[in-house]
């Protein structure tokens, strides 16, 4: 079990395991991992919603910055 950086590395690990003395069969649970996405290429996160309570002012108008 494990991860490999490339397909070649995955094949090489299976080959090494197959030539170990006493090994009859190699079953690989390895996967080729994807390189991490750089922080500057990641999708931007959505803006944080405003969860403040919306209350009207003395004239019954909604306060600035609140949705109606």
pLDDT value, residue 65:
54
pLDDT of the residue at 25: 87
Q: Domain residue spans in the chain?
A: 2-32
- pLDDT in 10s for each residue of the chain, 68 residues: 788 888 899 899 888 888 999 988 888 888 888 888 787 777 777 777 777 766 666 676 665 554 55
pLDDT on residue 21 = 92
Q: At a CB cut-off of 8 Å and minimum separation 6, what does 16 contact?
A: none
Cβ-contact 35, 20 below 8 angstroms: no
């Amino acid at each position: 079990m494990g991860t490999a950086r490339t397909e070649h590395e995955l094949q090489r690990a299976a080959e090494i395991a197959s030539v170990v003395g006493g090994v009859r069969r190699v079953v690989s649970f390895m996967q080729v991992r994807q390189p991490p996405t750089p922080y500057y290429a990641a999708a931007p996160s959505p803006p944080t919603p405003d969860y403040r309570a919306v209350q009207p002012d003395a004239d019954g108008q909604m306060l600035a910055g609140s949705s109606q």
